[in-house]
Structure 1
């Protein structure tokens, strides 16, 4: 078949791939197609009725199916497919109505670009949710656990507002413009009914929240143990804020290490992190802001400890991702 020859040139088919023609499909039911569809790379000379059979067979094998078409007769298959794609220039109005996507330029490469952009947006939504909820979980745990271990009021109401405003604001927004991750288009599609908290997101929120609370409370204990008993609240406040910057750098990917995707691949995020740290330094070292936020100037050693604990949190999140990669989680 000419179609098979072209498919092999484009690396769509290999030596083990087979082809089915419209004549073959006319003699087969959906169940028969299901038994062969995994090894078929080319369907040639097919009618609209055959296309519908192919879509049904692939879906019954738990595949996510995209279907392209431009004619009125293609409408049933376009409607049945998970993603119906109609031609914008040559396509009929009926095919466009039945589709989920319309190619305005009739260029198949646009499908790939659209899927890549869609995955990037969805991934970034998950990253923002993960970052925001882990941060909030850490704050809640600090407030709940602190009074039971000797910290009567770990954070004042104004400090809590500051943490939420500064850490969830600029860094969170910068996460939404995170570039597409390497290997995004090699991932298998996930179920359309999948919860946004699937694939370990809920567990990550709990684990990272616990780590965030732990490093913040350890900072408070450090301050007391080293002869600065009046600084413990500022230490908790500062560590909680800066540690979230370590968190936001690490949650830029569910699986890939930050070292692999590159620290500086999202310059907007780098700027947001630096600005957040600078604002936090102002809150603890500028006198009139100290009065407003009930903070104290931290000695250099305390500040270095706070930064060190924040780096520790970053590597803690990286370990979680490394463990997931070892298990082969997608």
Structure 2
């Protein structure tokens, strides 16, 4: 405990709290509870030299003054410290090291899911000529097991990842038994096909064999940071889209190579943050899952926005393009088109960006990286919905002229506006019904539709605006006809979604 207290870089914060690495805070807290105050031990044994921890050595050493001599304490990975030790401290004094006895105790602690650190010491009569000499011919002192439970939200995060078609893989420097226990608790390992491998085993696997095995490896234990790059390449070699987290300097190549490199904002180094594509400010895995959920919602809303603008604008284009071929007069005046673009293409389109996430958003598989924005029928919808809208508008023109309505152009103008409002309500989801989503689930969109409808009625019925927009008041029968005909776009899109859902259910049976 004195060794763990001295071999420790934790500092006392301004508010009296301990500041530093969580593992070292745990070790120091326990040491102080057992009577080894850091301030007192450092006063008795002032630090003279330090060999900081690095991922290659997997250990840290501090040298302290002890009277006229010196004492060094080394803490780190149990395997690494055993390799550098020649003796061990027992109840009977210093004896020749027994690696099997130590490793057996290490495995017993690791099976409980605890993180294990080893501690060794070395006495010197003089300062070493080379600092590296401090970590040779050590006396193994003991082991410390620490419970490092996953955060509560991590369990739900892993479960959501699996539902969303994302395969979580654990890469850790911990003992393989510790890593396996934690992975099973989290649900990362669920079957006998899920493999745990170590960095040492990874070095012995040929590249081609790794490409075959990497799909089933769920846990990499005792892995060096440079091996992360090899793991990323193997996954990408199988066509996987890889997101990699990291915080150290040596993680930078893997973060750079990954499709999405995620650096830790709190514990991450500047080098890792520079190499990464994004920085996780709270170092919490669950935040990554929240970002995936938010990203899917944003992408869905972008598609809805594009779908709406393409369908409505293509409806206008088809209307103006086909009318002359059918021998009809110009259906819409320039000011009508400007008004439509100003009102129905602005407020409802912007309100689509506030659409809440759809049900089951984290239960669908990830989209392919090369998938275009017009995939999954968006381009086809823009074509057929636009043509259908144009057909309704042109039918209105033909019917109203044939019936001798003097205000046929006002009717055409109104139908064009209202079809777009019906369309925006129907495309709130690519598959779910408008009524299942909830009429009031996006109040901003509902408000935009109501405001657009009121403004369109104002253009038709306010005398002051009639000469400006070249409109005239419509009778109750005429406006009823326009509303009925416009609602057919909403009905058609809803029927198309219903057919899509039925075909999907039939395919999954």
Distance 2:480 2:207 in 1: 66
1:31 aligns with 2:217: no
Which structure 2 residue ranges, 5 or more long, are not aligned?
A: 1-176
Deviation at 1:60, TM superposition (A): 1.8
Q: Which protein shows a greater Rg?
A: 2
Equivalent residue, structure 2, for 1:183: 360
Deviation at 1:327, TM superposition (A): 4.9
Larger relative contact order, structure 1 or 2 (CA cutoff 8 Å, min sep 6): 1
Equivalent residue, structure 2, for 1:6: 182
Equivalent residue, structure 2, for 1:305: 481
C-alpha root-mean-square deviation of aligned residues, in Å?
2.0
Distance 1:256 1:4 in 2: 41
Distance 1:72 1:219 in 2: 68
Q: Quick one: which of 313, 320, 335 aligns to 1:143?
A: 320
TM-score by length of 1: 0.92
Segment of structure 1 superposing worse, 181-190 or 269-278: 181-190
Equivalent residue, structure 2, for 1:109: 286
TM-score by length of 2: 0.61
Q: How does 1:14-163 map to 2 (within 5 A)?
A: 14-16=190-192, 17-163=194-340
Give the aligned length. Answer: 328
Equivalent residue, structure 2, for 1:253: 429
Distance 2:435 2:196 in 1: 43
Deviation at 1:326, TM superposition (A): 4.5
Change (3 A) 1:153 1:252: same
Deviations for 1:151-189, whole angstroms, at most 9, x for unmatched residues? Answer: 311001111111111111111111112122222233333
Equivalent residue, structure 1, for 2:459: 283
Q: Secondary structure at the match of 1:42?
A: strand
Q: How does 1:165-204 map to 2 (within 5 A)?
A: 165-204=342-381
Larger helix share, 1 or 2: 1
Q: Secondary structure at the match of 1:154?
A: coil
Segment of structure 1 superposing worse, 157-166 or 30-39: 30-39
Distance 1:152 1:161 in 2: 19
Distance 2:477 2:340 in 1: 22
Deviation at 1:277, TM superposition (A): 0.4
Q: Secondary structure at the match of 1:298?
A: coil
Equivalent residue, structure 1, for 2:440: 264
Deviations for 1:268-322, whole angstroms, at most 9, x for unmatched residues? Answer: 0000000000011111111121221112222222222222222211121223333
Change (3 A) 1:232 1:30: farther
Deviation at 1:258, TM superposition (A): 2.2
Please tell me whether the aligned partners of residues 20 and 40 of structure 1 are also in contact (alpha carbons under 8 angstroms).
Answer: yes
Deviations for 1:212-242, whole angstroms, at most 9, x for unmatched residues? Answer: 11122222233245x3422221121111101
Please tell me whether the aligned partners of residues 30 and 56 of structure 1 are also in contact (alpha carbons under 8 angstroms).
Answer: no
Please tell me whether the aligned partners of residues 223 and 302 of structure 1 are also in contact (alpha carbons under 8 angstroms).
Answer: no
Deviation at 1:136, TM superposition (A): 0.7
Distance 1:149 1:157 in 2: 20
